[in-house]
């Protein structure tokens, strides 16, 4: 999943692709590099970012989605927590809603997803849940997703349309992020596909000493390998080419492991 931020203030690439033409060309280049999904966002979710109006968000993303729907067969995802933006994006040609609030922000979001049959990325977040957040990072994942999957079920969203995202870096400190990585295999008990978004995050910069977000692709690729080996299915990244190579290596290791297991049997 390639990140296509049509924003002036995203933490890594703000202002780089903030015109329709620039965003479309970047997205198509990502497809050439191996992206299967294009995640289009019109509002930065970095800490301290200034919220934009729904109209401004829609003005940024809808022309990009319409153009890409005509130019590529890649799946298109709309990165939004607003139900109306999601609805308009799906009408414009998007296939997936990527909700960083996991159906908690806008009560109408579940209805939009259910009515359209769209795919849904449901992300774990601690924002707005401080009072109920559990001290164990993995236990909090299960608590959050069990409740939000119930919301999705009640709205009529089919389970096979849902992917879960543990929300690395979202309302989590470094200890929680690394606990999730170290214990990622436990999340397979949720019995749902798992998407991860570690790309260029601050905790990678902390470990590697890379202050500039654009210098964190090697560190990102290391997390990509580790999380693929632990069971992640989809990787939301800025640098598609580097992470595709990392995934090829991880998948070769997994294939060798399966071959060994079959031979032992």
Give 214-247 pLDDT, tens digit per residue: 999 999 999 999 999 999 999 999 999 999 999 9
Give 69-106 pLDDT, tens digit per residue: 999 999 999 999 999 999 999 999 999 999 999 999 99
Q: What is the pLDDT of residue 51?
A: 81
Q: Which position among 236, 244, 248, 258 bears the catalytic label?
A: 236
CB 99 within 8 A of CB 92: no
Q: Could you give the number of structural domains in the chain? A: 1
Q: Which position among 104, 133, 201, 216 bears the catalytic label?
A: 201
CB 7 within 8 A of CB 50: no
Q: Is 236 a catalytic residue?
A: yes
CB 11 within 8 A of CB 46: yes
CATH of the domain at 94: 3.20.20.20
Average pLDDT across the chain, whole number: 93
pTM of the model: 0.92
Give 157-197 pLDDT, tens digit per residue: 999 999 999 999 998 999 999 999 999 999 999 999 999 99
Distinct helix (H) and strand (E) counts, the chain: 9, 8
Q: Is 201 a catalytic residue?
A: yes
What integer is the mean pLDDT of 191-219?
A: 97
Q: What is the pLDDT of residue 213?
A: 94
What integer is the mean pLDDT of 246-262?
A: 96
11 pLDDT band (50/70/90 cuts)?
very low
Looking only at the bridges linking them, the beta strands covering 119-123 and 162-165 are parallel
Domain region containing 107: 2-264
């Amino acid at each position: 999943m390639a990140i296509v931020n049509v924003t002036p203030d995203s933490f890594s690439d703000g202002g780089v692709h903030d015109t329709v033409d620039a965003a479309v060309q970047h997205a198509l280049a990502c497809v050439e590099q191996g992206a299967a999904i294009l995640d289009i966002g019109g509002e930065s979710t970095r800490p301290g970012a200034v919220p934009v109006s729904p109209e401004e968000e829609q003005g940024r993303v809808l022309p990009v989605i319409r153009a890409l729907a005509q130019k590529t067969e890649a799946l298109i995802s709309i990165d939004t927590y607003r139900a109306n933006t999601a609805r308009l994006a799906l009408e414009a040609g998007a296939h997936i809603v990527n909700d960083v609030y996991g159906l908690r922000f806008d009560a109408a979001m579940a209805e939009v997803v259910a009515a359209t049959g769209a795919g849904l990325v449901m992300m774990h977040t601690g924002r707005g849940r401080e009072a109920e957040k559990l001290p164990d990072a993995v236990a909090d994942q299960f608590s959050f997703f069990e409740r939000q999957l119930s919301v999705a079920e009640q709205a009529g969203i089919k389970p096979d349309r849902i992917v879960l995202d543990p929300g690395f870096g979202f309302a989590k400190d470094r200890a929680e992020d690394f606990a999730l990585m170290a214990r990622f295999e436990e999340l397979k008990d949720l019995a749902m596909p798992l998407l991860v978004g570690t790309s260029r995050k601050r905790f990678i910069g902390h470990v590697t000493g890379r202050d500039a977000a654009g210098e964190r692709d090697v560190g990102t690729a290391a997390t990509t390998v580790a999380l693929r080996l632990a069971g992640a299915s989809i990787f939301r990244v800025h640098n598609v080419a580097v992470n595709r190579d990392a995934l090829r290596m991880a998948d070769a290791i997994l294939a060798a492991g399966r071959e060994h297991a079959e031979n032992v049997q």
